[in-house]
Structure 1
């Protein structure tokens, strides 16, 4: 029996080993390096080749669950390379044309996109006889061996005009093909890409070749990704961090500077590894279309929205590229943002007296600002690149927030106060500076990604307020305050990836140092306050990715160390200066077949409170409303287990989560003796919170109709009674997003999108149903479709209200209804010329600390 068990076990091992599969996305690597990677994934085959012989052949292709021999055949493609399998475990490769010269180049179309599978024929200039030939790969690149000193190159592709060039040099550079117009009557050719497919860490959405590429700016395009909800969060995974070509997006307005047709894919990472920050719950990684070319390129765009107030922005980006791989770029962005928010409230406080408050209020926000980038990067060769960028942004004039309200205040059923309240807050212009430097390289089989950041931001805020026509004369009629903040961050991050048997190992470190000062002075309604905070964070992380046939395993740890110093009014407060040492594990196991992808994942996150919530300064909002922070807040710890499955265009995920020390706002009586009736809003830690639910996405394409429907259903259990709150609900919270895109003839695109969130009860709040309906119609112009115009309308039915009842503290009830001026119509314009892909590959260090600042 033992012998039989041993034989069965041995057979199972041999079966798994013989079924070794390769899944990898090769992006512009040499054929030699691609073969070395495949060799590292297998112990069953010995791959033999001459390194220098294959070094000129470059590879861009996606290997999906292929056997070792099939993967090699795919990467070789149409190159003049012979593949010979000897016996059961040996594979030999050799170049069939051993010559000293190799004609090289890259073929692009009129829009700068690579042309794959174009024919390259090398002809004798004397009589046009065929000497040699080849085919371009998926990146439009070709390498064709030849012997003569002077040859005639013929480049052809169906639907494009054939090009002839006399060549005396090996490098032809970039060759642009132009369309050859012709009509074939009675024949219509159609094709489409699937909107999204599964990866071992989430979903990868195709942008190029799908309707997503026609949504103007990347900001708009992101709202139409699978699993993206109307609140800007990934269903079940919170607000994502966003990267463009591995470079962390520092400011959401930066996304308006990129066009959606510049994006190749958008990877939605729902199971981020430990190389990301401890507080990261989801990531969107945007990869741009690879384009080539030298000289000037650029794009210009403008947008306008009109509701009760208006919003307008303009964007310009210029890039100059040299033949030796250097890029010099400058980008500017200007915004004029105005928004009128209206709301009504009916609140109650039960202290020594019962206080009732009624108000009808408006909040008007007016801000003009700009930011600009100046940068340089140098792609020395395919193994090494580095760059530097400087970003500056500032307000144009004051950032003004005007709050007005008509108030009525009752004490024990008797009207005791009221009047017209006005509070004006002015954020004064202060220049913000940011510098990012990076190096990305390959040394042998090791990949290195290093980034360093410096960030300097100052903010001066002045507030004036008061209540007029009030019957009370015993309260100070006018108040004022001044807040001066100074923030500095210095950070660096190193990520190294090394091949290991059957997978790869990613490891590295990240360090950041923050220096923050907040100086608060006021006119007598509270007390002055000066806070100086210093935080140093240092982390080590490692992740191992193992591929075993149809299974892939990701397992990693992040060890994070934090040192805090909190000085209040010049004195160190030890209780407010905790040190933390935390281990954050993350893991996922994926099983993938031709039709199904299943992933079991565990994710741990750790969220530090924003620095603004650690203050002790008491701010004035109205005569009966103050707010402050809480320097004793603890970091929030989350643990989530999820199971996701995908079949073709259907995706489903089940999850269960546990959170400890959940940070939430909390209301209480400020000072019932000296300030009766005043409510103060601060922040507290809820001991625990359980959540569980399911997220669904359906994205089939039926003819011209691309559907993208997402449903999020969840339940949660909050420990609010442990904080003295009298009400607690655990009802179903549902959110529906119905996104419909129609690709129409003559480069027209129509999008109709609706969202609905039915009545919800959760924790200590009850929220009424809300929703919105919007449409967008766009048209691309000019021969290369470089000009785009779109008309938009948001919240057509005027239904996107926020209306709820909340028991946000001890003996406090809040009822309010708010509308954020979301019913707007607008227009988008964009134009690009000679577009080339940015080679800037930097990412950002210390991003978690920048978010807290």
Structure 2
């Protein structure tokens, strides 16, 4: 009876929530259906680039008398007050005049054709990267700038305002890892950034407050747009890299493309062989009834390969309809060898010494099948994306541990993870009033099995399954009122997560969530400064690996495990962005609830064993600021970015409250110099100051990188010589305090290396694939 009542209550709550969403969407629709009195649109050239300062004149349709006029802004947009239909005359220097019949409302895009007047030879030289606020994004133009010679998309992102390159990872300041799109298609793996040459990039859009059309777990989005290639037929592009650190490594990649009319067939093969080494020291103190001291020195060697490929096709039926299918696979075998020495003392009296040697072999396989359809029906634009992903991970660990005052241990563990994802997303958009309306839905279904086996009694075996069903609906409205642009959005998400332990459903770990995520944006000029204000509510769900109950053996005094009781993290963001010519300023406030952070607790009843796992912390606030200046002095193109991140957070440590409010500063100084023969020298410096993040104190770290770039044969060949971490200073240190434990760790990383990359392209045509993917949050969690 109680079960039936609980089920009825859940259905009632869900029905009430759906009713609220329906009412809100109805009010949203009513708010935008008023009669408009503006004729609005956008002017572009024949390559769909916005035309600035074009003259718009509204003429009487009967006798062509002048009524009113306007000039397009930096994004090619205009709006004219009008009470009745008329004839628009659009003109701009270098283009032929265009006449359009227009009525009040959004008339869409007007395309200008270059005039036939010969202007003689025009030489376009590199200028500074131009950054501006456009709709929901901060847009940096790469084409014809110094950044076009940076090397790869990865190199470019490390120089874009608001973006931080930390090793091979990309972060948006204050927002973490972004979702990255390349020409509207979601990036499948990080290697795609290295596959994309910087000279093929048109611009990069950084979205720091994504709207309702994106999953609520997405805190930041980067959209990369490439230049449109010319020509059809067969195209080929290859990339070869060879490098040296304390070893020799390399990479080989080949992209092929065949295009004929509306048909597009493309493929890619890549092989990557890499290694790294790392030296760590850790001191762990436990202040219980006795003071337990552990000191560990570890040397780690890692060897990995990647075999990846892609095969896809695309067909454009006409300018209004296109469809495509793509298959993506990767296989990543990795071997890690660790050797460590640990001493354990109680009240400064040595109790035991350990020598550990362990080997871990990991085999990751992933298959992804994606499809899309884009169609236009009158004023409606329909986008449908589907994804099916299969991934497997086999992990084998062998441990050999000798002790001076305890029994020796030699054992093995086996961890097998199998994941399945099926997702679909559909959205409808159309011009409405002086803007556009987008509505849509997104669904995903996840099935994940995690089996962990050990033959030892001190480590528990586990067999867990997670089944998750997710559904979402969203609506987003953007409007333009003169020079003011506004956007409001609403997203509803329903998640049903079921957790099984040895085939039995665990009610406490199984949960149902119903969430509403609003977002709003307004952009307006203040004299010559463009300003944008944003609000968004976001969620971060724990990764599936963080939800398992496996216990990983580090040594007999330190274990690591997941936590099936983790709850999602909620963030409320308020952001301010301002842009004036070469200067960009960003301020961001975030209220964070239930943040997931690493803690050390006691394992079982033994105070000598520490368990590292993730737990939800209490709420706290965070402030982030950034200023970016990019200008040019002849052949010298400097870009300076300074940022700061401050949290207001405290913890309980040894019965006392410890404030962790020291801010962290970030300095990035990029210098590009145009040398003779059109070669480019890049000297990049980055520094992160000491300060607090989460429940940690981080030491400062800095590094300097050098690069030399030159293209040949009309850009058919290009060569990049790169030296990363010239002075081998990109090391890290931290102090983590939790409950009655304090851990001090230092890492000496293997980041200094030198490499040479050679690219060759023949009739290189990029795929016209327009899919954007579905189930993005679930794919990242898997």
TM over 0.5: yes
1:523-556 Cα deviation digits (max 9, x unpaired): 2121110001100110001110010011111100
Q: 1:658 aligns with which of 586, 591, 595?
A: 591
How many Å apart are 1:842 and its aligned residue?
A: 0.7
Report the counterpart of residue 404 of structure 2 in structure 1: 471
Rounded to whole Å, the distance in 1 between the matches of 2:780 and 2:580 is 36
SS in 2 for 1:236: coil
Aligned to 1:586: 519
User: Secondary structure, in 3 states, of the residue corresponding to 1:575?
Assistant: coil
Structure-2 residue corresponding to 1:153? none
Deviations 1:798-836 (A, max 9, x none): 2211112221x2111111110221111111111111122
Q: Deviations 1:586-641 (Å, cap 9, x if unpaired)?
A: 11111036721111110211111000000111111122111111111111000011
* Alignment match of 1:842 (pick from 763, 771, 778): 771
Match of 1:799, SS state, is: coil
| Structure 2 counterpart of 1:417 | 352
Deviation track 1:370-418 (CA, whole Å, cap 9, x = no partner) reads 11001100112111111001111113xx411111112211122111211
Is the aligned partner of 1:757 residue 2:688?
yes
Q: Counterparts of 1:717-796 in structure 2 under 5 Å? A: 717-721=648-652, 726-782=657-713, 784-796=714-726
**C-alpha contact 2:105 2:432 (8 A) present in aligned 1:** no
Q: Does 1:320 align with 2:320?
A: no
Does residue 212 (structure 1) correspond to residue 150 (structure 2)? The answer is no
Where in structure 2 are the equivalents of 1:509-524 lying within 5 Å?
509-524=441-456
Secondary structure at 1:271's aligned position in 2?
A: coil
Partners of 2:88 and 2:157 in 1: CA distance: 33
Q: SS of 1:278's equivalent? A: coil
Of 488, 492, 508, 2:424 maps to 492
Q: CA deviation at 1:691?
A: 0.6
Deviation, 1:671, is: 2.9
Distance 1:91 1:79, change over 3 A: farther
Determine the structure 1 residue equivalent to 2:23. none
The corresponding residue for 1:51 is none
Shift, 1:46, TM fit? 8.8
2:334 maps to 1:334: no
Counterparts of 1:25 and 1:526 in 2: how far apart (Å)?
65
Equivalent residue number for residue 578 of structure 2:
645
C-alpha distance in structure 1 between counterparts of 2:119 and 2:113, whole Å: 9
1:677 aligns with 2:608: yes
Report the 3-state secondary structure (helix = DSSP H, G, I; strand = E; otherwise coil) of the residue aligned with 1:212.
helix
Q: Is the 8 A contact 1:781 1:788 kept in 2?
A: yes
- Residue 415 (structure 2) pairs with residue 483 (structure 1): yes
Counterparts of 1:760 and 1:719, CA distance in 2 = 14
Residue 648 of structure 1 and its aligned partner are, at CA, apart by 0.5
CA–CA distance in 2 between the matches of 1:318 and 1:761? 47
Residue 255 (structure 1) shift:
2.0
Question: Does the 8 Å contact 1:230/1:755 carry over to 2?
Answer: no
Tell me if the contact between 2:59 and 2:87 (Cα under 8 Å) persists in the aligned partners: no
Partners in 2 of 1:74 and 1:295 — Cα distance? 36
Contact conserved, 1:236 with 1:695, CA < 8 A, in 2?
Answer: no
Whether 1:223 aligns to 2:158 is yes
- Report the secondary structure of 2:154's partner residue: helix
Q: Partners of 1:193 and 1:726 in 2: how far apart? A: 49
- Measure the CA separation in 2 of the matches of 1:622 and 1:24: 65
SS at match of 2:575: strand
With normalisation by structure 2, the TM-score equals 0.87
Cα distance in 2 between the residues matched to 1:46 and 1:690: 57
Match of 1:702 in 2: 633
Q: CA deviation at 1:215?
A: 2.2
Residues 150-189 of structure 1, C-alpha deviations (whole Å, 9 max, x = no match) = xxxxxx78449xxxxxxxxxxxxxxxxxxxxxxxxxxx98
Residues 654 and 740 in structure 2, CA contact (< 8 A), matched pair in contact too? no
Range with greater deviation from structure 2 (708-717 or 772-781): 708-717
CA drift at 1:65:
4.8
Tell me the equivalent position of 1:802: 732
Deviation at 1:761, TM superposition (A): 3.5
Q: Deviations over 1:209-244 (max 9, x none)?
A: 112222222222221222222332122222211101
Please give the residue correspondences for 1:342-361 in structure 2 after superposition, counting only pairs within 5 Å: 342-361=279-298
- The answer (yes or no) to whether the contact 1:83–1:91 under 8 Å persists in 2 is no
Among residues 68, 86, 90, which one is paired with 1:73 in the alignment?
90
Normalised by the size of structure 1, how large is the TM-score? 0.80
C-alpha contact 2:46 2:113 (8 A) present in aligned 1: no
Answer yes or no: is the 8 Å Cα contact 1:792–1:826 preserved in 2: yes
What SS class does the counterpart of residue 73 from structure 1 fall into?
strand
Q: CA deviation at 1:320?
A: 0.5
Matched, 1:195 2:130: yes
Residue pair 1:540, 1:559 contacting (<8 A) in 2 also: yes
Paired residues of 1:460 and 1:483 also in contact (CA < 8 A)? yes
Shift of 1:710: 1.3
Q: Which runs of 5+ in 2 are unaligned?
A: 1-35, 63-73
Equivalent residue of 2:524, what SS?
strand
What secondary structure, in the 3-state scheme, does the structure 2 residue paired with 1:221 have? Answer: helix
Moved more, 250-259 or 300-309: 300-309
Task: Write the mapping of 1:30-109 to structure 2, written as runs, cut at 5 A.
Answer: 63-65=76-78, 67=80, 73-74=90-91, 78-79=95-96, 81-82=98-99
Structure with bigger gyration radius: 1
Q: In structure 2, do the counterparts of structure 1 residues 72 and 627 end up closer, same or farther at CA, with 3 Å as the change threshold?
A: farther
Cα distance, 1:46–1:540 mapped onto 2, change above 3 Å: farther
Equivalents in 2 of 1:237, 1:91: separation in Å? 34
* Residue 435 of structure 2 is aligned to residue 503 of structure 1: yes
CA distance in 1, matches of 2:654, 2:539: 22
Check the 8 A contact 1:423/1:621 in 2, yes or no: no
CA RMSD, Structure 1 to Structure 2 (Å): 3.2
In structure 2, the residue matched to 1:716 is 647
**Helix, strand or coil: the match of 1:713?**
strand
Q: Secondary structure at the match of 2:760?
A: strand
Which residue is equivalent to 1:173? none
The partner residue of 1:427 within 362, 385, 388 is 362
The one-character-per-residue Cα deviations of 1:635-678 (angstroms, maximum 9, x if unpaired) are: 100001111111101111122110000000110121344xx511
Q: 1:279, 1:605 within 8 Å by CA — same for their partners in 2?
A: yes
Describe the shift of the 1:191–1:433 C-alpha distance in structure 2 as closer, same or farther (beyond 3 A). Answer: closer
Distance (Å, rounded) in 2 between the aligned partners of 1:193 and 1:794: 24
**Deviation at 1:570?**
1.1
Distance 1:70 1:711, change over 3 A: farther
Question: SS at the partner of 1:720?
Answer: strand
Structure 1 contact 21–549 (Cα < 8 Å) conserved: no
Structure 1, unmatched stretches of 5+, are 1-16, 49-60, 96-105, 107-114, 120-134, 136-155, 161-187
> Paired residue for 2:243?
305
Pick aligned residue for 2:216 from 253, 271, 278 = 278
The 5 A counterparts of 1:549-564 are 549-564=482-497
Q: Work out the number of aligned pairs and report it.
A: 724
Cα 1:617–1:71 shift into 2, 3 Å: farther
Q: Which residue of 1 aligns with 2:619?
A: 688
Following superposition, the deviation at residue 740 of structure 1 comes to: 1.3
Task: Verify the 8 A CA contact 1:489 1:514 in the aligned structure 2.
Answer: yes
Is 1:831–2:760 an aligned residue pair?
yes
